[in-house]
A and B are shown apart, each in its own frame.
Chain A
């Protein structure tokens, strides 16, 4: 039941070197893989690019073959109305149930905000959010291959 709500996010290890990010996007674009969302976590020496894309398995294979170091991790995509206070409500529910957030990234436009969340406990996170009548995106809506 919970399975289709868990989205596979691809994380890519990138050295802080010009051209690496370009190479990633070039390869994915050429293979017809679309990026739905991404964020960059950076340190002074390297970065981790986290991407939600149309075909995570194919992207993983493609990038690995081209010498990139990648890993898949589980995230959820939460919909909240694009109005003040809604994110706070959602986060309060998570913290009340002892689910903590490792990281998240989001974008809001028109009526809806979409929030990618990487929680410490993915199964519990999905369960808690579902019980609170918050809407999660189905993995199948994210992947179109």
Chain B
């Protein structure tokens, strides 16, 4: 394995390919690797996960039916609901004695999604994150400021181990405390910043308010965990004077590092020697034609702790199969274009309209009429919940009325995990629709 080999590139950054033998592997050779790894994974889950064994038996298949990647279509899908139903450890294929790390995603309807990692899984994760950082032009001489949250969230520790694997110097500052972030950024001379794109914009504004933009040494930033636009990329790049890279990942698969931008920034390279992507039609569940938009599905083919077969991300995108101008052969994915379900990501938290509905039901609404408005002001997501007041809940007492809105806000905070502004509106003022109601107005234009 030739790690960290520099290849000639036309960009102003020294572009490195961290693991050239895999990232630039010929298609046929890569396919052989994937076939072998898929067979091993299917054997593993069939014998170690009662959940997957039952699912496969239901479909009348055994590991013998899976020879190559082309046989993937025979395998069962995995959904977020499956992960929730199997809470906490039901999907693990390794015994707890082999699990060395647990992470959990922001809980959606009550229970979070739990992921367990073996030592080898953590090494894979560090490897794919090192690839990500190298593709952004970073190496052992860089100083990484990790401003993703550390903890159950995969962002902080995922970036941390990746940057250490790269050999860079790591500042594990975690998220928040903007003044301290900027102080260390200038005093320590951070060259790489890892955080959410909205926090990057927030930091950028604070930097300008403090007038310290000339003291920054940032070269690059790796921004992910929430959708962002090209306009945001330009704004971050201008304000922080760095090159902004997108990173894609999800806890269910490994965390950040599933796919990454290279210097060409024309689609994110998927680490397909570890996470094999498919694009399906979310209605028929059949694979779409090459290059068409559909729902992104991943099968992990090297993980031991919690391998997943055909995990439906509900994210809509398309794949690019041509070899990239950067020299990498791995398949690329376009930015996420939308969701095949109605999930919203607000301030980094997954929110389903059905959760809001369940809260309103608690307040005595048999069929609550509500509308969610999401927007972005000063780089922070705003979340407004308009709820029709029930005539029987109306009183002449202003403080009681305000209290009702406050109680709904508190309940949403405890169920969903974020603050919403609840606005009581007049009965029958929210548009009625025949068929599926349109409950959400997202003005952020993130896709």
Interface residues in chain A, defined as those with a beta carbon under 8 Å from any beta carbon in chain B: 9, 11, 13-15, 20, 41, 43, 45-46, 48, 50, 64, 67-71, 73, 102-103, 118
Tell me the minimal C-beta distance from B130 to chain A in angstroms: 50
B401 contacts A71, C-beta separation under 8 Å: no
Q: For the complex, what is the distance from the CA of A14 to the CA of B401, rounded to whole Å?
A: 12
With A15-B425, A69-B389 as given contacts, are A48 and B396 in contact (CB-CB < 8 Å)?
A: yes
Interface of A is mostly: strand
Chain B residue at minimum C-beta to C-beta distance from A74? B396
B284 interface residue, CB < 8 Å from A? no
Tell me the minimal C-beta distance from A126 to chain B in angstroms: 18
We find that the number of chain B residues with CB closer than 8 angstroms to chain A is 17
A41 contacts B426, C-beta separation under 8 Å: no
Per CB-CB distance, the 6 closest pairs between chain A and chain B, nearest first, are A11-B396, A45-B423, A73-B396, A41-B398, A69-B394, A69-B391
Chain A residue at minimum C-beta to C-beta distance from B399? A102
List CB contacts (< 8 Å) of B390-447 with chain A: 391, 394-398, 401-402, 405, 423-429
B428 contacts A67, C-beta separation under 8 Å: yes
On chain A, the residues within 8 Å of B398 by CB distance are 41, 43, 48, 103
Which one of B401, B405, B425, B429 lies within 8 Å of A48 (CB-CB)? B401
B394 contacts A13, C-beta separation under 8 Å: yes
A13 contacts B389, C-beta separation under 8 Å: yes
Q: For the complex, what is the distance from the CA of A70 to the CA of B391, rounded to whole Å?
A: 7
B391 contacts A118, C-beta separation under 8 Å: no
On chain B, the residues within 8 Å of A71 by CB distance are 394-396
Chain A residue at minimum C-beta to C-beta distance from B424? A46
B426 contacts A68, C-beta separation under 8 Å: yes
Chain B residue at minimum C-beta to C-beta distance from A118? B396
On chain A, the residues within 8 Å of B424 by CB distance are 13, 45-46
Chain B residue at minimum C-beta to C-beta distance from A72? B396
On chain B, the residues within 8 Å of A20 by CB distance are 426
On chain A, the residues within 8 Å of B396 by CB distance are 9, 11, 48, 50, 71, 73, 118
